[in-house]
Structure formats: structure tokens, C-alpha cells
């Protein structure tokens, strides 16, 4: 197979583009896709300070690398979740990347700083582990971006993540969630601006980017995520994609173009009911925010 751009021997085929790329052309392809996402969705402006949420996995490290390669001011944020060896390993990858690039890594440790870990939080609050984890991370990422005075918080959600979340939201016709599923969420009302610059890349592409760029990342999957609903949605979408390449991108970008404008008011309505949590000051529609409730149930503090 030859590279689509330069006809040199290819190292990866990207089925949805019906194309293959050699090593240097693939790295350029990934950087161009990120640049295109940033520009077309107006994610990050020149000179802004970016905080990248880094897990030690392929997506967040690829994102951090691409932003640094683009000479952006991008610090990393690692949140230790207290998931045994998996957390120690993932922290090691995040630290090693930061050290090698001479980049700043901000660290928060859930057990040390907030008195609970994800396994405890999950069982105490009777939430699925991924739900307790997502809730904690969303709160801590937002707070760290605001506290650090960053202009924007970037996460490594890729095309597969977004298509799978969209699939789940459509199955439930969850209008407020659908209304929030945009690759840029504006700042205001206690929220930092949140952006997802990898939405034009599949996770196969972000993994290949890491392999070709020599980025070591944690390959093992989080032991608490096995069998979760999100993974099942991804498998279903990949079955469709294998038979009909381009389906995931058409599903997600078709939503953004044609349906998102119609469901945005549902999310805006919900945002109107926000007020600061009396315990931590974060925006919430409940009496006490979900993070403070989770921390209290798990015997921790916020």
C-alpha cells in the first residue's frame, strides 16, 4: 500500500478516508485534523493558555503532544483516581511525557486531596464506576482550569468517544445531554471553556499517532471500565463502520450540522437554573452539587 500524499510505502490505512499514509504524512494528517477542528469550531485563540486533561492514555497524550508541536501554551492536568496499580501506572506515563517534553504537569490526587477513591465512591454512591469517575473528573478539571486562570480546558475525546456518547443519548432521546454534546462549550456561569480538539480523529488514529511519534502510553484498559455501556456502543458502531466506512463520522458530524442547533435550547434552559453549590461554589441545579454529594457519601470531603 502506498501513501496517499507522497506514494512512499504506507504504515497505516485509514479506512474511512479510503487512504493510507507513510509515517511523516500520517503525523501531518493528524496535526492537520486537529488544526482544522480548532479553527472550524473556534476552540482556541492565539496566545491563550490551555490546560490539557491528561490520563496517561493515548488520546490525551497525543492531544498534548499536538498542541505543544503547534507551539501552544499547554500545561497538563493529571487526576489520580485511586484505582490501584492502574492509577500508579497511568501517572507514571503522564509524568514521563511531561518530563521528556519539559512541560508542566499539574497533579491532583483524589484520595490525598479529597479523601476518597473511585472504587469507594462508586460503591458508596451506588453509581457505576465510570459514572463516579466521570463526575469527579468533570468537577476537578473545571475547578483546576478556573483556579489556574487557564483560558480553556482541552480533553482528549475523539471521534469514537463522541459518536458512542451520541449513540447513547439518541437511544434515550436525552435532549439536555444532546444539547450539550458540542465540541466546544463556552465559559461562564462558573464553567471554564471546554474543547475537544480530537473530534476529527478516530481512536485508531490517535493510537497510531502515539506509536509513530514514540509516545509511551498506558495500553491496558482501566480495570473498572470492563463491560461498560460506552464500550458496547463503540463495538456496535465499529461493526457498522467495518461494513460501511465513514459511518461514525457521518453520524457525528451530521448531528452537529443538522440536529445540534435544534436541541441546544434544551441545554440552555438547564443552564438557566444553575446556582453556586453552597459547599464548593461549583455551578449546580441541585441544592448541593453532585461532586460534594459523592465525596460526602464516600467519606471524603470537597
Smallest gap from Cβ 85 to other proteins, in A, equals 14
Contacts of 12 (CB under 8 A, 6+ apart): 20, 21, 26, 205, 208, 212
Separation CA 247–CA 95 (nearest Å) = 36
Work out whether the CA dihedral 220, 125, 196, 244 comes out positive or negative.
positive
Element holding 185 (H helix, E strand): strand 184-185
Should residue 124 be labelled a site residue for other proteins when binding is judged by CB under 8 A?
no
Give the residue with the Cβ less far from other proteins, 23 or 49: 23
Number of residues that bind other proteins (CB under 8 A): 45
**Could you tell me the smallest distance in angstroms from the CB atom of residue 174 to other proteins?**
13
Name the helix (H) or strand (E) containing 51: strand 49-53
For other proteins, give the closer residue by CB, 137 or 193.
137
Q: Give ∠ CA 166-168-172 in degrees, rounded to 5.
A: 110
Select from 265, 260, 263, 300 the least CA-distant residue to 279.
300
Cα–Cα distance for residue pair 62/40, rounded to 1 Å: 20
Q: Does 176 bind other proteins (CB under 8 A)?
A: no
Measured from the CB atom, is 60 or 72 closer to other proteins? 60
241 binds other proteins (CB under 8 A): yes
Q: Does 289 bind other proteins (CB under 8 A)?
A: no
Shortest CB 93 distance to other proteins, Å: 13
End-to-end Cα, the chain, rounded Å: 54
Q: Which residues contact 95 (CB under 8 A, 6 or more apart)?
A: 78, 105
Site string for other proteins, 183-212 (x = CB under 8 A): -------------------xxx-xxx--xx
Binding residues for other proteins restricted to 60-119, rule: CB under 8 A: none
Binding site for other proteins (CB under 8 A): 1, 10-13, 15, 20, 57-59, 128, 130-131, 133-135, 157, 160-161, 164-165, 202-204, 206-208, 211-212, 219-222, 224-226, 228, 230-231, 234-235, 238-239, 241-242
Amino acid at each position: 500500500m502506498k501513501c496517499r500524499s507522497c506514494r512512499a510505502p504506507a504504515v497505516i490505512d485509514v479506512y474511512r478516508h479510503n487512504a493510507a499514509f507513510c509515517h511523516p504524512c500520517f503525523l501531518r494528517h493528524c496535526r492537520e485534523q486537529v488544526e482544522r477542528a480548532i479553527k472550524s469550531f473556534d476552540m482556541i485563540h492565539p496566545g491563550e493558555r490551555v490546560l490539557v486533561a491528561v490520563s496517561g492514555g493515548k488520546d490525551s497524550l497525543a492531544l498534548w503532544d499536538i498542541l505543544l508541536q503547534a507551539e501552544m501554551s499547554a500545561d497538563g492536568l493529571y487526576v489520580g483516581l485511586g484505582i490501584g496499580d492502574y492509577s500508579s501506572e497511568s501517572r507514571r506515563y503522564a509524568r514521563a511525557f511531561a518530563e521528556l517534553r519539559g512541560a508542566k504537569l499539574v497533579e491532583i490526587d483524589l484520595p490525598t486531596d479529597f479523601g476518597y477513591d473511585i472504587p469507594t465512591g462508586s460503591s458508596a454512591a451506588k453509581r457505576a464506576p465510570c459514572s463516579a469517575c466521570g463526575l469527579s473528573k468533570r468537577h476537578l478539571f473545571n475547578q483546576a482550569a478556573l483556579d489556574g486562570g487557564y483560558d480553556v480546558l482541552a480533553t482528549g475525546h475523539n471521534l469514537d468517544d463522541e459518536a458512542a456518547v451520541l449513540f447513547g443519548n439518541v437511544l434515550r432521546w436525552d435532549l439536555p445531554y444532546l444539547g450539550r454534546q458540542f465540541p466546544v462549550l463556552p465559559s461562564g456561569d462558573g464553567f471554564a471553556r471546554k474543547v475537544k480538539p480530537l473530534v476529527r480523529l478516530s481512536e485508531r488514529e490517535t493510537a497510531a499517532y502515539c506509536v509513530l511519534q514514540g509516545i509511551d502510553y498506558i495500553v491496558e484498559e482501566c480495570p473498572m471500565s470492563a463491560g461498560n455501556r460506552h464500550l458496547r456502543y463503540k463495538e456496535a458502531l465499529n461493526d457498522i463502520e467495518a461494513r460501511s466506512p465513514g459511518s461514525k463520522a457521518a453520524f457525528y458530524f451530521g448531528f452537529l450540522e443538522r440536529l445540534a442547533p435544534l436541541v441546544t435550547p434544551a441545554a440552555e434552559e438547564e443552564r438557566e437554573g444553575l446556582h453556586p453549590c453552597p459547599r464548593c461554589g461549583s455551578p449546580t441545579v441541585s441544592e448541593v452539587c453532585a461532586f460534594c454529594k459523592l465525596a460526602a457519601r464516600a467519606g471524603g470531603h470537597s
